[in-house]
Structure 1
Amino acid sequence: MITQATIQQIQNRIDIIDVVGSFVKLKKRGTNYLGLCPFHNEKTPSFTVSPNKEIYKCFGCGKSGNTISFIMEHEKYSYVEALKWLANRYNVEVEETEVSAEVRAQQQLADSLYIVNGFAQQYFSKVLLEEEEGQDIGLSYLKERGFTDTVIRKFQLGFCKEARNAFVTEAIAKQYNSELLVKSGLAAMRNDELVDNYRGRIIFPVHNTTGKVIGFGARIIKKNDRAPKYINTPENEIYIKSRILYGMYFARQVIDKFDECLLVEGYTDVISLHQAGIENVVASGGTSLTTEQIRLVRKYTQNLTIVYDGDAAGVKAALRGLDMALEEGLNVKLVLIPDKEDPDSYVNKVGPDAFREFVASNKKDFIIFQVEVALKDAGNDSQKKAAVVNQIAETLSRINKAEDFTKQQDYIRQCAQLLKIEESGFNNLVNKFIREKVNKLESKWPVDQSSPDDGMPPLPDFDAGSDDGFQLLLKDELQERAVVRALVEFGLKAWNDSQKVADHIFEELVDEDLFDNQQLLDVIKTYKAWYEAGIEPTAKNFYYHENQELSAVVVSLMEFPYELSEKWKDKFQMAVSQRDDTYREEVISTLGYLKLRKIKRLIDENQQDLSRPHTIEEQMTLLQTHQALKQMERELLQNLGTVIVK
């Protein structure tokens, strides 16, 4: 973990205008800055950055956050990766907390592999672009394939010389460890001699989602029946094939922007499509999709379109990994390239526009396609048809997310029609597979494990589903948010001679039941813990909290729906009161209305209880409770100076 001292240094140096401005063209507008949102397509700027509050907000798509969350969202980094990115930008040395010797050794090995791979990539690219052998063999081959200098440099392609140990000699001369060269797959030990592993091959560097080179794919150019077409990096501490999708580093932002990921098989498919301007594309390397790869796609979009060759092998490859994709909630479509073409050759044949149009108009629903293929293979064999019914039912049972229930029912209806069986019977079969899975999971639970519902807060008695119930919840939450915002903004200001605003709010909020929103209550508890520990909590403390949910809540509280024009005073020649001038009134008002809303709810609940049958003693207790609540309501209304509560 990164130390708090390092995080504090990064926070102190962060300039949100500098960071966001490196990705978005910003124009000053009053006290804020305005630009086109990088998270959705828009022609009129609605993306606003506040240097004073150190947050951004898009009033078009609703995205908001701070500097760190902007880097996380835009670059698709984790919290730690975003911190390291900022540390590098502001020349802050990253210190990490003490870890075990074993973990430290693993980290050092991973760092060493990154360094070796980075050197290798630069060496291979230099050979390809600047040395005679690389230009004559490697570059001429890539040019024949139609690749431009721009895309070659973008994907950092390279070439390994034919000589037995040209790369190894260079690496050893630069004092790179021979064991690391073997572990990274760049070299191999043959007859007690260290030799290059990728001799005479085009080199395709493989990047992780932060842009670091984690491995290589090496394609042979000359015809050699005995040699494999591709050699890939062996698995090691940083190269784990099941977690990698080639091209994701270059595609991730475009996938997020267009809300769709195209999946192809090979390196050249990805590069050709990128060159044609179709950049939301990654490659699986022709292997079965893994859960980790599917989850990597899901970080950026729920929509996966598989674009494979139309031959039998392509169809078979496309169908692999379907069940896992369904379990992860992806919407999967399939496009098969015609005429024995692959995406690389087809886009070069028909051009970018025709390729896009073909993909858009030829998407097939994955499950329906699977049914059609399976039925075709089964022919008139009744036993095979029965097996198909079971296979499809088992597949549909994997659509197990509650929000996908309607989609599952629609599939059951369509598949029953294609299979020519009764929908009700097919639905029962799907449910049978679902029950079997549930039973299997339950059998693995410890005997004394609590019910999944244990510990859940009880539902309120009022009907939250009704319009009145919804409005009540909404108004309550608005009051809760107003109180927490007042605490974060004004907590350190003076309330009276001996107290600060935070002291007053904590005295008034003794009862946690005043809050329904647990996240808002967590903000209050965190603030109080800091305050009592002698730390002066500010909005900035929350913005850069490692708990991103907590950070997001406070950012949403501090958003700026409007700002005061700087010309107001000059135009009207009058003093304009600011929230900082009236913070005491705001605190009194927000606390008062929060309590009032809660009392109104208690009165309504008590009245509902009164309408039910009770003993005389119970009836009297409820009446006395009603009178007490109404008295509290009158006192609050008097203090607030109002007589109407909607």
Structure 2
Amino acid sequence: MITQNTIQQILSRLDIVEVVGSFVKLKKRGANYLGNCPFHNERTPSFTVSPSKEIFKCFGCGKSGNTVSFLMEHEKLSYVEALRWLANRYNVEIEETETSPEQKQAQQTADSLFIINAFAQKFYAQKLLETEEGQTNGLSYLKERGFNKDIIQKFGLGYAPDGRDALTKEAIAAQYNSELLQKTGLVVERNGQLQDNYRDRIIFPIHNNSGKVIGFGARLIKKNDKAPKYINTPENELYVKSKLLYGTYFARQAIDKADECFLVEGYTDVLSLHQAGIENVVASGGTSLTQDQLRLIKKYTSNLTIIYDGDAAGVKAALRGLDMALEESLNVKLVLIPDGEDPDSYVRKVGEKRFREFVQENKKDFILFQLDVLLKDAGNDGAKKADVVNQVAETLSKIDKTEDFTKQQDYIRQCADTLKIDEAGFTALVNKFIRNRLASDKKLPFEEAQHFEENAKKAAVNEYDDNTYNLLFKDELQEREIARVLLEYGNREWENGELTAQYIFSELPEEDLFENESVLQILHEYKSHLESGEVIDKNFFVYHPDNKLSTFAVSLMQFKYEQSHHWKEELSQSTGYQKSLFQQDYKTFLHLVNRENAKELEHYLKIEEDRTPQEIISAITYLKLKKIKKLLIQNHADMEKASPSGQMTLFLTHQHLKQMEMELTSQLGSVIVK
């Protein structure tokens, strides 16, 4: 694990404008920088980088974060991988906490395999492009298949010479370890001698998400019934086939922008589509989809379109892994290529435009397509039809996430109609499969599993519809504002040497005032560091290793405009109602203004201006006021149910709360309607 000292060194040196500017063309605009968002297609720049706050925000698609999360999102790196990327960029030596000898050995082996693979990729590429044998055998084959030099170089394709030990000799001469060479699968031992494993084959390097070569696929060029068409790297510390999809590194940004991933079977399918300009495509390598591969796709998009051959084998391959895709909440569509073609040959035949049109016109819903296939196989056999009903019901039971409840109900309705069965009975059958799985997976008693299922269904409604409840009891804005002022100003001096954070905690000592979990976590961690004598600032949370908390911290500071002196002066002449709106959240006031008046308001606003102590007091006061309102409502409900003897105590409580409310509102200058 990377030490906190190293992380702090990285964070102290990084420059968000420099890092983001490596991937996005930025122009200075006032105190901030502006560019086209790399996460969605846009013509008018709405992607803003704030160097002072060290955050980015796209006002088009809503993506936001810090330097580390930008790398994680844009380059699809893990938190640790992003830190390593930054450490390498800013020449920070990485220190790691104590690791076991086994862990050290595994890391050293992985690092060595990366180095050997990089060496082999360069060797094969050089043999393909710069030797007579490679050009005659390998390059001519690739050109016959329609691949140009640009796509060959982009994917780093190579050629393995036909000789017995061409690679082995060069690797040994370069002093690479023979055991590690065998672990990569590049070299094998036969009859006591090391030999090349790949001979007279086209080499397809396989990259991880950061672009490093982790393995190879080697395709036979000449027909040979005794040799396998493809040889792949054996599994090792780097290469685990079930967790990989070919072409992910080259497709990740295109998938992000298109919000859709095309899945094909073979390496050449990916190459041909990329060459045609369709880059949001990866390949499964012809194997059944695994949960890890589907989760890899889910990192980029929830929309998966499988494009396979239209023959029986292609249909069968496409249907594999359907249940797992549903469990991952992927929206899966299927496109079958006609007339014995595959994606590789079809895109070369019809071109990019027609291929895209064909995909769009021929997308089939995965579940309904599976149902059609099963019904055709069943024919008029009643027993087989009953099996189809059970199979489809079990498939639909996998759609059990709360957010997918409506989608599941739509499928139940459509499938029941196609099967010509009672919808209510079919719903009961789907729920039975849900209960059985819950009881099995969680080892719950049947009754408890049934109760769990019913609660899950009820949870599809995310919030009460009663607007009064939302207004009076949902303290989201007030709680977020407390967290924001704490992050922005907590380490500044308040009065008599006291920090602003200490003042806030003294005014709001009880954490049970808060309901938002992220706000509570910020308060708890801030207070804990404060009590131990450590002063932290907003960057502690903006760069927090908990990605959820980091994103929340960023969201607290992502304001496009901030209050100017002119705005304050104008509001000082405003009505009490306008003042109260502004003082609670002047940005809410902005949203109430007609967009047509936006230009007239520009001169009232300026970016990056500091806030005042009154804002902190206002945030605390509004939260207190909100809590008192809740207590008043609860007290009123108790009075209606109380006995005559108990009503007097509750009445006195009511008077005390009203007095507190009046004092707080007088501080805010608001009018309370009794």
Whether TM-score is above 0.5 comes out as: yes
Alignment-mate amino acid for residue 590 of structure 1: A
Query: CA 1:235 to 1:622, structure 2 compared with 1: closer, same or farther past 3 Å?
Result: same
| 1:581 shift after superposition | 6.8
Q: For residue 456 of structure 1, what is the aligned residue in structure 2?
A: none
| 1:578 shift after superposition | 10
Alignment-mate amino acid for residue 616 of structure 2: V
Q: Which of 630, 642, 649 is matched with 1:601 structurally?
A: 630
1:229-279 deviations in whole A, cap 9, x for unaligned?
000011111111110111111111111111111110000001100111111
Query: CA 1:304 to 1:54, structure 2 compared with 1: closer, same or farther past 3 Å?
Result: same
Q: For residue 549 of structure 1, what is the aligned residue in structure 2?
A: 548
Alignment-mate amino acid for residue 483 of structure 2: V
1:8-61 deviations in whole A, cap 9, x for unaligned?
111111111111111111111111111111111111111111111111111111
Cα pair 2:55 2:66 within 8 Å, conserved: yes
Percent identity between the aligned chains? 64
Q: For residue 413 of structure 1, what is the aligned residue in structure 2?
A: 413
Query: CA 1:61 to 1:624, structure 2 compared with 1: closer, same or farther past 3 Å?
Result: same
Matches within 5 A, 1:185-200: 185-200=185-200
Q: Which range is displaced more, 379-388 or 575-584?
A: 575-584
Query: CA 1:293 to 1:578, structure 2 compared with 1: closer, same or farther past 3 Å?
Result: closer
Query: CA 1:90 to 1:560, structure 2 compared with 1: closer, same or farther past 3 Å?
Result: same
The secondary structure found in structure 2 opposite 1:263 is strand
- For 1:334 and 1:452, the matched residues in 2 are separated by 33
Alignment-mate amino acid for residue 272 of structure 2: S
The secondary structure found in structure 1 opposite 2:273 is helix
- For 2:506 and 2:493, the matched residues in 1 are separated by 15
- For 2:632 and 2:608, the matched residues in 1 are separated by 33
Q: For residue 582 of structure 2, what is the aligned residue in structure 1?
A: none
The secondary structure found in structure 2 opposite 1:301 is coil
The secondary structure found in structure 2 opposite 1:34 is strand
Matches within 5 A, 1:337-486: 337-443=337-443, 464-473=464-473, 476-486=475-485
Alignment-mate amino acid for residue 529 of structure 2: W
Q: For residue 530 of structure 1, what is the aligned residue in structure 2?
A: 529
Matches within 5 A, 1:121-200: 121-200=121-200
Alignment-mate amino acid for residue 638 of structure 2: D
Query: CA 1:498 to 1:91, structure 2 compared with 1: closer, same or farther past 3 Å?
Result: closer
Cα pair 1:464 1:473 within 8 Å, conserved: no
Query: CA 1:424 to 1:184, structure 2 compared with 1: closer, same or farther past 3 Å?
Result: same
Q: For residue 634 of structure 1, what is the aligned residue in structure 2?
A: 662
1:71-109 deviations in whole A, cap 9, x for unaligned?
111111111111111111112122211111111111111
| 1:616 shift after superposition | 2.1
1:539-591 deviations in whole A, cap 9, x for unaligned?
122222212222212211111321579999xxxxx999999776321221111
1:401-426 deviations in whole A, cap 9, x for unaligned?
12212211221222222223222322
Q: Which runs of 4+ in 1 moved over 3 A?
A: 563-568, 574-582, 638-646
Q: For residue 622 of structure 1, what is the aligned residue in structure 2?
A: 650
Q: For residue 577 of structure 2, what is the aligned residue in structure 1?
A: none
Matches within 5 A, 1:538-617: 538-563=537-562, 583-612=612-641, 614-617=642-645
Alignment-mate amino acid for residue 180 of structure 2: L
The secondary structure found in structure 1 opposite 2:652 is helix
Do structure 1's residue 503 and structure 2's residue 502 form an aligned pair? yes
The secondary structure found in structure 1 opposite 2:373 is helix
Return the TM-score normalized by structure 2.
Answer: 0.89
- For 2:557 and 2:67, the matched residues in 1 are separated by 14
Cα pair 2:562 2:606 within 8 Å, conserved: no
1:352-405 deviations in whole A, cap 9, x for unaligned?
111000000001111111111111112222222222222111111111112212
- For 1:593 and 1:85, the matched residues in 2 are separated by 43
Q: Structure 2: state its 5+ residue gaps.
A: 454-458, 568-602
Cα pair 1:159 1:201 within 8 Å, conserved: yes
1:277-309 deviations in whole A, cap 9, x for unaligned?
111111111111111111111111111111000
Alignment-mate amino acid for residue 551 of structure 1: S
Cα pair 2:561 2:608 within 8 Å, conserved: no
- For 1:352 and 1:172, the matched residues in 2 are separated by 45
- For 1:197 and 1:520, the matched residues in 2 are separated by 57
The secondary structure found in structure 2 opposite 1:10 is helix
The secondary structure found in structure 2 opposite 1:60 is coil
Q: For residue 316 of structure 1, what is the aligned residue in structure 2?
A: 316
1:600-621 deviations in whole A, cap 9, x for unaligned?
1111121122223x22232222
- For 2:224 and 2:441, the matched residues in 1 are separated by 51
Q: For residue 517 of structure 2, what is the aligned residue in structure 1?
A: 518
- For 1:469 and 1:632, the matched residues in 2 are separated by 22
Cα pair 1:30 1:566 within 8 Å, conserved: no
Cα pair 2:259 2:300 within 8 Å, conserved: yes
Alignment-mate amino acid for residue 503 of structure 2: H
**Count of residues in Structure 1 that have an aligned counterpart in Structure 2:** 629
1:621-642 deviations in whole A, cap 9, x for unaligned?
2212111111211222233444
Q: Which range is displaced more, 7-16 or 521-530?
A: 521-530
| 1:155 shift after superposition | 0.5
Q: For residue 263 of structure 1, what is the aligned residue in structure 2?
A: 263
Do structure 1's residue 60 and structure 2's residue 54 form an aligned pair? no
Q: For residue 644 of structure 1, what is the aligned residue in structure 2?
A: 672
Q: For residue 599 of structure 2, what is the aligned residue in structure 1?
A: none
Query: CA 1:255 to 1:581, structure 2 compared with 1: closer, same or farther past 3 Å?
Result: closer
Q: For residue 28 of structure 1, what is the aligned residue in structure 2?
A: 28
- For 1:565 and 1:599, the matched residues in 2 are separated by 31
Query: CA 1:346 to 1:581, structure 2 compared with 1: closer, same or farther past 3 Å?
Result: closer
Matches within 5 A, 1:187-226: 187-226=187-226
The secondary structure found in structure 1 opposite 2:268 is helix
- For 2:559 and 2:443, the matched residues in 1 are separated by 51
Do structure 1's residue 302 and structure 2's residue 330 form an aligned pair? no
Query: CA 1:621 to 1:94, structure 2 compared with 1: closer, same or farther past 3 Å?
Result: same
Q: For residue 487 of structure 2, what is the aligned residue in structure 1?
A: 488
Do structure 1's residue 238 and structure 2's residue 267 form an aligned pair? no
Alignment-mate amino acid for residue 484 of structure 1: A
The secondary structure found in structure 2 opposite 1:335 is strand
- For 2:329 and 2:430, the matched residues in 1 are separated by 17
- For 2:188 and 2:608, the matched residues in 1 are separated by 69
